[in-house]
């Protein structure tokens, strides 16, 4: 049984269909990159997987004992967060919310998990710093630590390197790769096809042509060839 199975999924807003008949599976240990042009439905797909919006048709299923609310999500930053007065620790702890039920306050177990994940991402020194005073890369690490508090198995990353400079981008990819080596399954939306091809085990191309399969096969596929050609054309312009 796969961790995540999407069958005959069609996506869109208010009856307007963007993606039709999408099928793919994510198994434990995979690193799936979702690529495609702007407006092709990548973010809509992610929101549908997370249950933030209903699919127009088809189904999203989780398996292997993974429940729908145990997906660690790294969203893109919102305006609200940019000047939000919150310490790193408060934000990371809030990732434990899905194990709380109706308990009002965090217990020892939640604090341990938060501490562990802050250590993992090198945030221990920053625990009491204010989120809005951190650099872009540090903020992403905080949100990643929060996502790790919500899951041990599956991470969903929405453009994790958007707005970061090249050095920090490389660090971020390293961190994600390390997490993947330690057994976390990763699904990542990315504009950066080079990185997708370097790190991913599987590629899902969303757009006019759909493609899902192993990374190496993607380069030989119609969708892949066309997309890479466009990207190169775009880069050289």
Partner 1 sequence: MMEKLVWYLTQPYVQYALIVGVLIALCSSLLGVTLVLKRFSFIGDGLSHVAFGAMAIAAVLNLTNNMLLILPVTMLCAVLLLRTGQNTRIKGDAAVAMISVASLAFGYMLMNVFPSSSNVSRDVCTTLFGSSSILTLSRDKVWLCAALSVIVVILFIFFYNKIFSVTFDEAFARATGTKAGAYNLLLAIIIAVIIVLAMNLVGSLLISALVIFPALSAMRVFRSFKRVTVCAAILSVVCALIGILVSILAGTPVGSTIVAVDIVAFAACWLVGLVRGGQHT
Q: Which residues bind partner 1 (CB under 8 A)?
A: 47, 50-52, 68-71, 73, 75, 78, 80-81, 84-87, 90-91, 93-95, 97-98, 100, 104-106, 128-130, 132-133, 146-147, 150
DSSP 82-148: HT---BHHHHHHGGGGGGTTT--S--HHHHHHHHHHHHHTT-GGGTTSBGGGS-HHHHHHHHHHHHH
- β-bridge pairing 185-189 and 31-35: parallel
Give least dist CB 208 to partner 1, A: 28
Chain length of the chain: 237
Nearer to partner 1, 14 or 237 (CB): 14
Give least dist CB 9 to partner 1, A: 17
Classify residue 130 by its DSSP letter: B
Nearer to partner 1, 130 or 210 (CB): 130
Give least dist CB 91 to partner 1, A: 7
CA distance 59 to 49: 9
Nearer to partner 1, 50 or 177 (CB): 50
Nearer to partner 1, 42 or 215 (CB): 42
């Amino acid at each position: 049984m796969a961790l995540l199975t999407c069958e005959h999924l069609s996506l869109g807003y208010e009856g307007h269909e963007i993606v039709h008949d999408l099928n793919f599976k994510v198994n434990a240990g995979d690193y799936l990159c979702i690529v495609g042009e702007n407006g092709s439905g990548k973010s809509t797909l992610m929101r549908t997987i997370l249950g933030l919006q209903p699919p127009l048709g088809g189904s999203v299923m989780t398996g292997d004992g993974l429940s729908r609310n145990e997906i660690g999500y790294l969203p893109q930053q919102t305006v609200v967060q940019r000047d939000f007065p919150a310490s790193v620790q408060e934000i990371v702890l809030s990732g434990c919310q899905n194990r709380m039920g109706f308990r009002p306050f965090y217990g020892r177990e939640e604090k341990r998990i938060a501490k562990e994940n802050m250590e993992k991402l090198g945030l221990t020194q920053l625990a009491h710093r204010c989120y809005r005073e951190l650099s872009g890369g540090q903020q992403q690490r905080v949100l990643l630590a929060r996502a790790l508090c919500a899951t041990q198995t599956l991470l969903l990353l929405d453009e994790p390197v958007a707005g970061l400079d090249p050095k920090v981008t490389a660090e971020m990819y390293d961190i994600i790769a390390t997490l993947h080596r330690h057994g976390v399954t990763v699904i990542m939306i990315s504009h950066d096809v080079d990185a997708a091809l370097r790190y991913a085990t599987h590629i899902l191309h969303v757009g006019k042509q759909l493609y899902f399969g192993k990374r190496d096969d993607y380069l030989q596929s119609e969708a892949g060839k066309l997309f890479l050609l466009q990207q190169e054309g775009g880069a050289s312009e």
